[in-house]
Structure 1
């Protein structure tokens, strides 16, 4: 078996021109032009508009490469393209090899007869995706989001690359994944299907192998499993001449189980499957595997039908967010970016990410990181918010795409569910798509999502659930956003302009989308907007806002909660506070009612460019206020307050597998810290439970003349350790009689990390920490600090910084500083 990479330095040109320019593969036209200084940065200002011609043009990529005699001596040589984006025609040494119109599938072409010893030339012609969809859309209009170049669903390409309500219209073109030659003789592993069977404390691991053969000889398949501690087990299977399939298995007697984040550890086993012909290695595959069971439990109960993920027999409350592509140009996403985003999810106590159907099936490194960090993956197939073609060629392309990606990902411990699409059943039921002229398109929808995809999943991955759409009630074309069964997308807040408290009127079984926008971090805004544009309604700020009336919505909600800020920079912070508070209200409510709701995935975790959006981590990886709030409201043990004016009920939610004991303390006090009434209550919360404490009736102390001057402070303690602290104001923050909190700080260095102790003389709402000139993730940030309390925050100083430099760069603000 010989592998020869064809990645690296190529050349490219606009079709019809003469000059070849240097290119990098994997890569794309935009990034290659950008590296050469031939286009401006599309993410700055409105430069996106100046580069529209790129995707409207055809392009060619060319490589001259050497092939040795050893490779040509093998019986079969394949050109393997893991991803061509998208309308590609491939020629080798002037001879046609193949073509593709689907960026999500691998292409494998036999090229042994076309290669020569010595120099060879590979040419890939890419046609304009914009020209293609525009022509198809003119002939047969398809429904799609209004923020996009219309007609994107005619092409099997990431839908959001044509634009979305958070993304630019910058469809990439190029070789976006690995490209190589694979040469072998006798046979190859066409498919390897790993499965687990858990019984009696042991796990049987099996590999079903399917071969492609060229010689009728006896072969051997070896299954080798390496445990996290390095111990190796091995089993072997003989395949007689002519045998095309076989199963090899071994038993793990003392398995280390894989758990979602905060439910246990994530031990990973390395699996190798090797095909041997005599003493010659013919093919091999390697896998990273976690041993665990998983089911989606849907059972009748008092609230309708449950929708609960169960891992290793333990019901899981899914906590997390929706994932979109981490860059509009995916080939420049780094390993470090992926690790930062997934690690940040785990640090915020998330255990699930939904890979949304408007992006693409992620690369192995994404799922590797999710495996390592215990992040379950809700995986959409790549269909979103559109009607799709009804042609036989489309169905066949989807069949190949789905089969390949299910086979590629089905061994993953992190992979929890296959979902047919995003919001398309909802579109057919409630968005006006169901018209007589669209009857064939509705039949195509039914064929793909109720027959083709579930049949592929049942055949290729029977150990994992399939869900037809998100949202869905699991009854085709019936009440897809039902609160009684299935999953829901709750956009009452934001799109329907309802107050945050509206979340409490939505008793969903599983909330897979809900969200609230904010501006990105100020330093991120500086990357795309000059100081003259630092205004919510400036041309550039509105260009980096793709949701209609999005900036207006933020200002409207802002006037409900906060005083108008004195400058642009605090306005940026206030939009993030609104976002954090909105998500907190929803998540705390659903977690308090975990007997009804089994998951909350907010929209969205990340950005693909610097923009106003629903993300909790902006394009440059900076944590917004929401990411810090998520670390608190997703904590395994949560103390939250259900407030109804002056009647407040505290709840302790325990997501862990063990009984939890501690104390809830509360204090009704003035903003200056004078205690009017206080108390505490011991708490016993069983595994996977939520308990309510004695209601607090505070009407006698909180009247119209005092409500602007008092707050309820609630704290969760375990022994001498305060786990959390929150407050309930009795008026909107804009009406609190806040005064300068007189924050004092003490900074010290302990065992290689910085510890900052902050004390407030008066209530400080939303204490916000920053290091001028550096990006730092604090152990806590954007928190309330009542009078007389001290809060310790830990962080790692930037490399090379002294404690004195950190002290000089430290900035501490609170809400009162914004107006």
Structure 2
């Protein structure tokens, strides 16, 4: 008699208590699974909300306690069969956990990232009696400290946090980071379910391997179905959701058969990144049948695409860019951190909204950072849907990790499970071994002989044993488990051949932190601070006022530099660095609304400088100087002040829109020559025996470049117009320049380079400089095709703080239904920002306005008339 496969989610009815099994603490109701202990304590009013004010400090004690979760459940019926299996599936337990069924220990967990499948048939009660499931979670922090003491043969080094995280396979950001709180939580953070099936009648995995024909019109490959060793019939089918189901074949499974293969040869559509073609997806389904009864079924979604990481020798060193389906793709996007400190409360809808936000902002890649988690399937499915490429780190970050036997075994199981879970997603185009661990090697002088020592076993005997993980174990797993997805030992990584492991502008990817961190260079220098692929850089800014008001409850604490505001910003030297960048560029206003606005405009300017300039370096085929840019970071894990371009509530900052504009399919760019007015005595000019900048050069020595960048596959003919508009009067002060241009496909086309301007009213070098007679101007560039403007850009005279902004003549009108705001101005407007809110969505924000143009902003979620705004110099 056949018995269908059953899967019962153990979601509701959970309770929890402080302490282990034998403590007398009362059980309290828990949230439905998945959940975490902080959330359950909050549900029972046992703690204050750690996301508000200084409350994070009051919940630190939770990390040092044991916690027990409990649930009762009935034994599923066996239909009179003797060969029925009952299996408890724990998709994720955070982190050190002991599992008990009816008082007997059945399993232990020591890795947050591993799924545990535990056979419990012999532990369950018969008939209608209830079973008791208990999970005891130990302190990951205390366990980590214990492991550090036990393994004194290893030199544990960690950045950002205390040392206890080093040996613990748990989300590293739970120990706190320079953008997130210390919230060392625990609990059943992923679903738990009870599976019941006839012994052997289950499918454990489906893997697809394929090759595309030379013309990319055919996919030829094999579906591998992993099954248990029992006779039955396995059927495999494929459909793209629009056509009828195609049966690839069916096969009898004989005893001891564990792997079945089904070949296919399919003519179909490719999966493309957004903007390059459709995101065609197919569903492959494997089913075990007995007659007409389904005993087990598993489905996987896949998209057929060809991915290459192009690393060719060229005039700049060695290239680094992605080629998808034989098309070079400039990968502009963001780095992704977990979207919550308590990831169990991130809904599938919220994941999808995050990816949709990135895609709507013209972003084409997310980098899943190595200090968080292997993300929920929903995130990758959304990336598949929206055509967003994924750079996936393994979960190691900013530490010298150990490599003793037990640790290596756990890491290999973690890696195989997660690569297998994610390998069919067409969006994942690269795996990287870690985040910034080779910087630890460099900083502390750890043993690393890349060229001389190629023996993985010898690496385990050095004080950098994790090299074995990054350069042997993980690449082997990726090669064995994926369909040819590229692998990198780290991010950043200079291919191991550079004397500077962490930043090599000629080879590999770079993390550029000499703006904000490091040398704190002016962000105007970012255009010449790039590399072959910039996988991290960033600039901080405040979130919008609504978000600040949600996390800081007292009005008297809502000012820049308050204890509550400083506590919320976890970056080292945050307020000093932030105010330095603001003060170097803008006239300081230190009330909260004004300072918030200034930080946002400053961040947007910095990000835009970088994106448009590094995209310019995309160049032409065979001369790709820069292959992509990923800002640090897209999102936040709690309401905070950070480098995020959209806050915890998915409210974009102006920098989000700056990227959106810089990543349009066709953009025109203009850049003025930069005169560094921020030079300090240690800088280059001091070395040349001068201690001051000639400030007249900022306004009087004007030189600029103009270029067009296009990701379109066809040529574009158009006309470039350059205007020179007075900041004070709004009038054009020089004759326009008009240039015909033929824009090359998927390339950068240089239009003007080193164009000098004869500044009107230039004052003599031999006379005192009269600022009242100076007339600084904005360079406004537009690209028209077929009489329509398709792109524009402006270049202001830096720094903005030296400019005067008398009445701008700004005019805002509204459409009849109030869903659109239409803006115009008599004089140039810098940094116009609507105060955005959680329930509101705008088509654009944080832009500059020029005389003679009209800007329409669509508004969803409120009347456009309800929006407040600010711009630079506004009274």
Q: TM-score range by the shorter chain?
A: over 0.9
What's the CA shift for 1:724? Answer: 3.2
Q: Secondary structure at the match of 1:85?
A: coil
- Which residue in 2 is equivalent to 1:3? 7
- Which residue in 1 is equivalent to 2:121? 112
Q: Secondary structure at the match of 2:668?
A: strand
Mark the runs of 5 or more structure 1 residues left unpaired by the alignment. Answer: 799-804
Q: For residues 439-461 of structure 1, give each alpha carbon's deviation from its aligned partner in whole angstroms, at most 9, with x where no partner exists.
A: 84645212111111111111111
- Which residue in 1 is equivalent to 2:87? 78
Q: Secondary structure at the match of 1:235?
A: strand
What's the CA shift for 1:566? Answer: 5.0
- Which residue in 2 is equivalent to 1:546? 570
Q: Secondary structure at the match of 1:52?
A: helix
Structure-2 change in CA distance of 1:433 and 1:168 (3 Å): farther
Q: Determine whether 1:755 maps to 2:763.
A: no
Deviates more, 1:376-385 or 1:536-545: 536-545
Q: Secondary structure at the match of 1:765?
A: strand
Q: For residues 717-742 of structure 1, give each alpha carbon's deviation from its aligned partner in whole angstroms, at most 9, with x where no partner exists.
A: 23343233332122311111211212
Matches within 5 A, 1:286-685: 286-434=299-447, 440=461, 442-475=463-496, 478-480=499-501, 481-496=503-518, 497-529=520-552, 530-565=554-589, 567-594=591-618, 595-644=624-673, 646-671=702-727, 672-676=729-733, 677-685=735-743
- Which residue in 2 is equivalent to 1:63? 71
What's the CA shift for 1:551? Answer: 1.3
Conserved in 2, the CA contact under 8 Å of 1:360 and 1:382? yes
Conserved in 1, the CA contact under 8 Å of 2:431 and 2:488? yes
Deviates more, 1:230-239 or 1:475-484: 475-484
Q: Determine whether 1:194 maps to 2:208.
A: yes
Structure-2 change in CA distance of 1:720 and 1:791 (3 Å): farther
Q: Determine whether 1:247 maps to 2:261.
A: yes
Q: Secondary structure at the match of 1:675?
A: coil
Which of residues 722, 728, 734 is equivalent to 2:801?
734
Conserved in 1, the CA contact under 8 Å of 2:88 and 2:117? yes
Structure-2 change in CA distance of 1:760 and 1:402 (3 Å): same
Q: For residues 132-189 of structure 1, give each alpha carbon's deviation from its aligned partner in whole angstroms, at most 9, with x where no partner exists.
A: 1233335547545554233202110000111111110001110011101112223322
Q: For residues 751-800 of structure 1, give each alpha carbon's deviation from its aligned partner in whole angstroms, at most 9, with x where no partner exists.
A: xx8222111011111111246x76422111111111232111112244xx
Q: Secondary structure at the match of 1:396?
A: helix
Q: Choose between structure 1 and 2: higher strand proportion.
A: 1
Which of residues 757, 772, 782 is equivalent to 1:698?
757
What's the CA shift for 1:505? Answer: 2.4
Q: For residues 340-394 of structure 1, give each alpha carbon's deviation from its aligned partner in whole angstroms, at most 9, with x where no partner exists.
A: 2111100111110000000000011111111111111000000000011221000
CA distance, structure 1, for counterparts of residue 272 and residue 760 of structure 2? 47
Conserved in 2, the CA contact under 8 Å of 1:142 and 1:151? no
Which of residues 69, 93, 100 is equivalent to 2:102?
93
Conserved in 2, the CA contact under 8 Å of 1:520 and 1:612? yes
Structure-2 change in CA distance of 1:72 and 1:678 (3 Å): farther
CA distance, structure 1, for counterparts of residue 91 and residue 233 of structure 2? 27
Deviates more, 1:663-672 or 1:619-628: 663-672
- Which residue in 2 is equivalent to 1:21? 28
What's the CA shift for 1:279? Answer: 3.9
- Which residue in 1 is equivalent to 2:183? 170
Q: Determine whether 1:794 maps to 2:858.
A: yes
CA distance, structure 1, for counterparts of residue 447 and residue 176 of structure 2? 24
Q: Secondary structure at the match of 2:179?
A: coil
CA distance, structure 1, for counterparts of residue 301 and residue 378 of structure 2? 11
Structure-2 change in CA distance of 1:108 and 1:741 (3 Å): same
- Which residue in 1 is equivalent to 2:776? 709
CA distance, structure 1, for counterparts of residue 632 and residue 416 of structure 2? 28
Structure-2 change in CA distance of 1:241 and 1:278 (3 Å): farther
When the two chains are superposed, the root-mean-square deviation of aligned CA atoms in Å is 2.1
What's the CA shift for 1:702? Answer: 7.2
CA distance, structure 2, for counterparts of residue 512 and residue 566 of structure 1? 33
Structure-2 change in CA distance of 1:49 and 1:284 (3 Å): same
Normalized against structure 2, the TM-score is what? 0.89
Deviates more, 1:114-123 or 1:500-509: 500-509
- Which residue in 2 is equivalent to 1:801? none
CA distance, structure 1, for counterparts of residue 774 and residue 80 of structure 2? 83
Normalized against structure 1, the TM-score is what? 0.94
Conserved in 2, the CA contact under 8 Å of 1:142 and 1:386? no
CA distance, structure 1, for counterparts of residue 627 and residue 747 of structure 2? 11
Q: Secondary structure at the match of 1:575?
A: helix
- Which residue in 2 is equivalent to 1:802? none
What's the CA shift for 1:555? Answer: 0.3
Structure-2 change in CA distance of 1:251 and 1:75 (3 Å): same
CA distance, structure 1, for counterparts of residue 410 and residue 774 of structure 2? 63
Structure-2 change in CA distance of 1:708 and 1:166 (3 Å): farther
Q: Determine whether 1:725 maps to 2:792.
A: yes
Matches within 5 A, 1:153-164: 153-164=166-177
Q: For residues 558-584 of structure 1, give each alpha carbon's deviation from its aligned partner in whole angstroms, at most 9, with x where no partner exists.
A: 111000115211101111111111111
